[in-house]
């Protein structure tokens, strides 16, 4: 959400900082600022709005210096105002930029006020800079001061500090919020995302959890969580993985499918404490608000609607909160009987889908408790008009068929479920711990699923000549099957329908014959035996099955059944994992049929009209 850039060089660094901020803008922002050590000492410039506003302010009144830090902010604590924008200063001696959320900031703030510090913002970040200033008096160096300060901070942070009395270094610390050092020749850089620094370097060192780094022009020294000096690996990027070109991939869709482990990782960053989800990831008041939620109404379209349908299973089973899910085009024109204390959740990749936006606008003054947007675009109307927000950080999605937006929405919705359950005191602590631990492993599990790509490609010939397909699932795999069917129909133009497997015998079974392949999403969970009986009904009618299942489900290949064995995963995360092979399946079938994968006929990326 927020973005950090830092630079130390022999040249003026302001232009580097501004360019870095521009590259981070897609993550969402409401204000931006730069602090530079000039010949007048530490000086800063901050503006609300776009980075362009900050850039023109700096054009009018340039700040020239060889060391600086900069930030794009997405407001969590305190409104989007100039006072709340970073960098924050303490006595014009120290400057700090910070991503993440400091959970014990109120307590620290009171202690610092008692010492005479005057706060000029409502942010948690200003607490950090005054804390550093206060501790600095007892320490010889900024490094040991920072080491002492991080011991007092609870929550998540990626932060950078500069100091007026020693402008030859930038200090950085990471815990729960990413930071990467960019290596130059006679100059070095810092950022929350390497994308911000690709114009100045292709060599990076990723800081690990608990690391503190001292960055100078000619050298970088990193200390681990025990404050022991440590060498971290340098990685070199040969191309820009997130630029708006396809890179090594034939289509944007394939590139975006492969980006999922990375963007899911990013969706999780700064949002997990050791064993729970940080409710403040949804907004400063989210935790208190969640305590009052008695009902949930989710509204979305297309793929985003499927994400909402998965979330209903999680929300009701983990938090026992009643949850309704509806497509926005219906919801917006329906008389809705609103239940007390209902949280309205909209889900959207673009944040500009006309029906979803209209549905949100219709809720105003209707007595909803609050609105929450789960969205990929920080600057979108949906985000601006919602009370609470979780950005999914999938990065630009260019393929019309939504892929990485869906999996990151699922991650965002599971984070929401866990934060809600915790705030309401309804979440079993062991379940919470296990879910958080499993979420941390999700990116590597998604990589395992992607490594099955060649195997999935081989099964596609079976589909390429068919005109109709059925997708089956039960429980939270039913919406996953719906998403699989939507992907196949929109890019390969094969008619595909999804059914909850138990519904088969109530009608669709009549369609099944050897020309109608049936895809089943079948992880080994409590509904597996029921699903197996439904699949027998298909076999008995001469249908051919493609089954995605883990080994514990005990499916074997046979004349009428082709099985793709999936890695095992925590049950809550099955929807994310099983989505991957279904995306790959649609992609390879579409390639085989020679359709326009990235821009399928009749469709547009963002549906801003009704």
Which residues pair with residue 157 across a beta bridge?
Answer: 100, 176
Binding mask 329-348 for ligand F6R (x = CB under 6 A): -------------------x
Given 2, 301, 323, 375, which residue is catalytic?
2
- Strand 229-230 and strand 220-223: pairing? antiparallel
Token readout for 241 is: 């993985």
Q: Which residue has the tokens 């009904």?
A: 537
Question: Counting contacts by CB under 6 A, is residue 401 touching ligand F6R?
Answer: yes
Question: Counting contacts by CB under 6 A, is residue 143 touching ligand F6R?
Answer: no
Among 84, 90, 350, 561, binds ligand F6R (CB under 6 A): 350
User: What is the three-class DSSP state of 478?
Assistant: helix
Q: Give which of 445, 347, 441 is closest to 390, Cα–Cα.
A: 347
Question: Counting contacts by CB under 6 A, is residue 201 touching ligand F6R?
Answer: no
- Between 15 and 607, whose beta carbon lies closer to ligand F6R? 607
Question: Counting contacts by CB under 6 A, is residue 321 touching ligand F6R?
Answer: no
CA distances from 211 to 6, 142, 232 (A): 17, 15, 10
Piece of the chain touching ligand F6R by CB under 6 A; list 54-62, 167-175, 270-278, 349-357 = 349-357
Among 48, 145, 192, 353, binds ligand F6R (CB under 6 A): 353
Token readout for 439 is: 């979420």
What are the strands of the beta sheet with 295-300, ordered from one edge?
323-327, 295-300, 342-348, 370-375, 388-391
Min dist CB 603 to ligand F6R, Å, is 8
Question: Counting contacts by CB under 6 A, is residue 134 touching ligand F6R?
Answer: no
Question: Counting contacts by CB under 6 A, is residue 356 touching ligand F6R?
Answer: yes
Q: Give which of 262, 348, 263, 265 is closest to 303, Cα–Cα.
A: 348
Min dist CB 351 to ligand F6R, Å, is 7
Token readout for 313 is: 């299973």
Which position's Cβ is nearest ligand F6R? Answer: 302
User: What is the three-class DSSP state of 524?
Assistant: coil
Question: Counting contacts by CB under 6 A, is residue 392 touching ligand F6R?
Answer: no
Question: Counting contacts by CB under 6 A, is residue 575 touching ligand F6R?
Answer: no
Q: Cα–Cα distance between 305 and 313 in angstroms, integer? A: 13
Min dist CB 306 to ligand F6R, Å, is 8
Number of residues that bind ligand F6R (CB under 6 A): 15
Min dist CB 303 to ligand F6R, Å, is 3
Q: Give which of 243, 256, 174, 245 is closest to 208, Cα–Cα.
A: 174
Among 281, 402, 477, 583, binds ligand F6R (CB under 6 A): 402
Spell out the residues 6+ positions from residue 102 whose beta carbon is closer than 8 angstroms to its own: 108, 124, 125, 127, 128, 153, 154, 155, 157
Determine which helix (DSSP H) or strand (DSSP E) holds 382, and give its type and residue range: helix 381-384
Of how many residues is the chain composed? 610
Min dist CB 597 to ligand F6R, Å, is 12
Question: Counting contacts by CB under 6 A, is residue 304 touching ligand F6R?
Answer: yes
User: What is the three-class DSSP state of 216?
Assistant: coil
Binding mask 453-492 for ligand F6R (x = CB under 6 A): ---------------------------------x---x--
- Between 375 and 528, whose beta carbon lies closer to ligand F6R? 375
Min dist CB 324 to ligand F6R, Å, is 18
| DSSP-derived secondary structure for 394-449 | -----SSS-SHHHHHHHHHHHHHHHHHHHHHT-S-HHHHHHHHHHHHHHHHHHHHH
Token readout for 84 is: 């709340």
Min dist CB 300 to ligand F6R, Å, is 6
Question: Counting contacts by CB under 6 A, is residue 301 touching ligand F6R?
Answer: yes
Piece of the chain touching ligand F6R by CB under 6 A; list 181-189, 299-307, 315-323, 560-568 = 299-307
Q: Cα–Cα distance between 139 and 131 in angstroms, integer? A: 13
Among 65, 302, 500, 581, binds ligand F6R (CB under 6 A): 302
Q: Give which of 368, 304, 302 is closest to 336, Cα–Cα.
A: 368
2 is catalytic: yes
- Between 354 and 511, whose beta carbon lies closer to ligand F6R? 354
CA distances from 302 to 11, 202, 349, 364, 495 (A): 50, 38, 10, 23, 16
- Between 401 and 573, whose beta carbon lies closer to ligand F6R? 401
605 is catalytic: yes
Question: Counting contacts by CB under 6 A, is residue 303 touching ligand F6R?
Answer: yes
Q: Which residue has the tokens 């547009």?
A: 604
**Residues with active-site annotation:** 2, 605
Binding residues for ligand F6R, rule: CB under 6 A, are 301-304, 348-350, 353, 356, 401-402, 486, 490, 606-607
């Amino acid at each position: 959400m927020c973005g950090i850039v830092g630079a130390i060089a022999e040249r003026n660094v302001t232009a580097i900082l501004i360019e870095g901020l521009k590259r981070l803008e897609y993550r969402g922002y409401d204000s931006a600022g730069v602090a530079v050590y000039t010949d007048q000492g530490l000086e800063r410039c901050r503006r609300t709005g776009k980075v362009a506003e900050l850039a023109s302010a700096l054009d009018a009144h340039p700040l020239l210096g060889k060391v600086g830090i900069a930030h794009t902010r997405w407001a969590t604590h305190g409104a989007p105002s100039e006072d709340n924008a970073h960098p924050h200063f303490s006595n014009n001696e120290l400057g700090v930029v910070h991503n993440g959320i400091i959970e014990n900031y109120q307590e620290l703030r009171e202690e610092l006020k008692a010492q005479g510090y005057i706060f000029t913002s409502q942010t948690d970040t200003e607490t950090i800079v005054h804390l550093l200033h206060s501790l600095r008096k007892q320490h010889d160096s900024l490094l040991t001061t920072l080491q002492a300060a991080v011991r007092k901070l609870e929550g998540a942070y990626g932060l950078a500090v500069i100091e007026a009395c020693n402008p030859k270094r930038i200090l950085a610390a990471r815990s729960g919020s990413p930071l990467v050092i960019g290596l130059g020749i006679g100059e070095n850089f810092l950022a929350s995302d390497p994308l911000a620094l690709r114009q100045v370097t292709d060599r990076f060192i990723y800081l690990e959890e608990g690391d503190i780094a001292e960055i100078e022009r000619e050298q970088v020294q990193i200390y681990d969580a025990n404050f022991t000096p440590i060498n971290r690996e340098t990685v070199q990027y040969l191309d820009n993985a997130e630029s708006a070109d396809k890179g090594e991939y034939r289509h944007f869709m394939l590139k975006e499918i492969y980006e999922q482990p990375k963007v899911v990782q990013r969706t999780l960053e700064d949002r997990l404490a050791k064993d729970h989800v940080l409710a403040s990831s949804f907004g400063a008041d989210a935790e208190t608000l969640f305590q009052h939620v008695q009902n949930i109404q989710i509204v979305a379209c297309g793929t985003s609607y499927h994400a909402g349908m998965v979330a209903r299973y999680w929300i009701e089973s983990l938090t026992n909160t009643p949850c309704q899910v509806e497509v926005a085009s219906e919801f917006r024109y329906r008389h809705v009987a609103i239940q007390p204390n209902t949280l309205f959740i909209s889900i959207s990749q673009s944040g500009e889908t006309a029906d979803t936006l209209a549905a949100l606008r219709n809720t105003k003054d209707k007595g909803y408790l609050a609105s929450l947007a789960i969205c990929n675009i920080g600057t979108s109307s949906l985000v601006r008009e919602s009370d609470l927000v979780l950005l999914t950080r999938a990065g630009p999605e260019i393929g019309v068929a939504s892929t990485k937006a869906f999996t990151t929405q699922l991650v965002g919705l599971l984070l929401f479920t866990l934060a809600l359950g915790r705030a309401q005191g309804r979440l079993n602590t062991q379940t919470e711990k296990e879910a958080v631990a499993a979420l941390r492993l999700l990116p590597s599990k998604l990589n395992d699923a992607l490594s099955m790509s060649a195997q999935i490609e081989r099964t596609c010939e079976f589909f390429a000549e068919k005109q109709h397909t059925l997708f089956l699932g039960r429980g939270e795999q039913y919406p996953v099957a719906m998403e699989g069917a939507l992907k196949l129909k929109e890019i390969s133009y094969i008619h595909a329908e999804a059914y909850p497997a138990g519904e088969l015998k109530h009608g669709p079974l009549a369609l099944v014959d050897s020309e109608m392949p049936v895809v089943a999403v079948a992880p080994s969970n409590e509904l597996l035996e029921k699903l197996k009986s439904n699949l027998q009904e298909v076999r008995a009618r001469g249908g051919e099955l493609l089954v995605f299942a883990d080994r514990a489900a005990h499916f074997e290949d046979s004349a009428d059944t082709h099985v793709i064995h999936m890695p095992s995963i925590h049950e809550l995360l099955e929807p994310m994992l099983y989505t991957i092979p279904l995306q790959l399946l649609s992609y390879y079938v579409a390639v085989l049929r020679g359709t326009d994968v990235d821009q399928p006929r009749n469709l547009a990326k963002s549906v801003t009209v009704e």
